[in-house]
Amino acid sequence: MGFHTNNEEVGKVNKEVMIVTGAGQISMAIARRLGYGKKIIIGDKNIDNANRITKIMNDAGFDVIPVEMDLSSRKSILKMIKVAQNYGEISMLVNGAGVSPSQASIETILKVDLYGTAVLLEEIGKVIKDGGVGVTISSQSGHRMPALGVEIDEMLAITETNKLLDLEVLQPHNIQDTLHAYQLAKRCNEKRVMAEAIKWGQKGARINAISPGIIVTPLAIDEFNGPRGDFYKNMFAKCPAGRPGTADEVANVAELLMGPQGAFITGADFLIDGGATAAYFYGPLKPKNKS
């Protein structure tokens, strides 16, 4: 561990800092692609996950500190930011924390994926270094839901974070199930990124969203082998790419968005789903009852 201890000392004399939330495959792929030479703070509600990714990355020469944090709590987000600032200025954000429709209740999905992401983008936007960059991981799910209309879009984009969960469209009686809650959360991510890009832009900083389709992760593999396995196999067979994606392909997009080649891209949402959404609207994945 001598190497890591040395790195920590170097960190104190000012390294740029990358904040990563959610110690999953997608976060790690992006952190590995862009986090070299930086102090990386990995925050996760499940500290075991953060510790696991920290070990893999530190064993590969990165400089990672795990932090226990809850994306649904502003206090917890602010605490993580404070830890990060001990090491230097925050120049990158990767928000890959989240819960999926099969993992959580409607309330939890809204609190973590929708409210938590909005608060994180707001708080990091206040402290991001001039010229900094961020990505938040949204989902193809947000692209499948029908349009919500100009007024609701605007409310999702700019309502004060503390009042977001009071919006009528987000009340439980207006939400059919956890998938619907997830779609709303991911649609909201897209709109918040647009609104935040204005504020981040005042510092020459950029923020974008990436909306992946099905990406192979341990959780996704469980789904492929579970009772809904045939549903997934059908989706892969009928989408243009003919397969699920990998976290490293999501990192390819992050590399473009967060690097100099992406200098003109901010407030945008990038769909990377092997064409599954296209097939859902206009091809062989179109639901039977959808005209």
Ligand X SMILES: NC(=O)c1ccc[n+]([C@@H]2O[C@H](COP(=O)([O-])OP(=O)(O)OC[C@H]3O[C@@H](n4cnc5c(N)ncnc54)[C@H](O)[C@@H]3O)[C@@H](O)[C@H]2O)c1
Question: Distance between CA atoms of 105 and 167, rounded to whole angstroms?
Answer: 18
Under the binding rule (CB under 6 A), the answer on residue 24 touching ligand X is yes
Binding to ligand X by residue 246, rule CB under 6 A?
Answer: no
Stretch that binds ligand X, among 39-47, 59-67, 124-132, 192-200 (CB under 6 A): 39-47
Stretch that binds ligand X, among 9-17, 22-30, 152-160, 170-178 (CB under 6 A): 22-30
- The smaller minimum CB distance to ligand X, of residues 21 and 159, is found at 21
Q: How far apart are CA 85 and CA 115, in angstroms?
A: 23
Question: How many CB atoms are located within 10 Å of the residue 172 CB?
Answer: 10
Task: Write the interaction track for ligand X spanning residues 52-81; mark x where CB under 6 A is met and - where it is not.
Answer: -----------------xxxx---------
Q: Which of 7, 44, 80, 187 binds ligand X (CB under 6 A)?
A: 44
Tell me the DSSP string of 175-231: --SHHHHHHHHHHHHHHHHHHHHHHHHTTT-EEEEEEE--B--HHHHHHHHSTTHHH
Identify which of residues 63 and 113 has a Cβ nearer to ligand X in the complex.
113
**What residues contact residue 261 under an 8 Å CB cut-off, 6+ apart?**
none
Q: Using the rule CB under 6 A, which residue among 51, 85, 161, 217 binds ligand X?
A: 217
- CA-to-CA separations, 179 to 110, 145, 291, in angstroms, rounded: 11, 10, 21
Q: Which of 38, 39, 111, 182 is catalytic?
A: 182
How distant is the alpha carbon of residue 42 from its chain centre?
13
**At residue 63, what are phi and psi to the nearest 5 degrees?**
-125, 85
Based on the residue annotation, tell me whether 182 is a catalytic residue of this protein.
yes
| Interaction of residue 212 with ligand X, rule CB under 6 A | yes
User: Is 22 a residue that touches ligand X (CB under 6 A)?
Assistant: yes
Tell me how far, at minimum, the Cβ of 27 lies from ligand X, in Å: 6
d(CA 155, CA 167): 8
Q: Is 40 helix (H, G, I), strand (E, B) or coil?
A: strand
112 lines the binding site for ligand X (CB under 6 A) = yes
25 counts as binding ligand X under rule CB under 6 A: yes
Residues that bind ligand X (CB under 6 A): 21-26, 44-46, 49, 69-72, 96-100, 112, 137, 139, 212, 214-215, 217, 219-220
User: Would you name the residues annotated as active-site residues?
Assistant: 182, 186
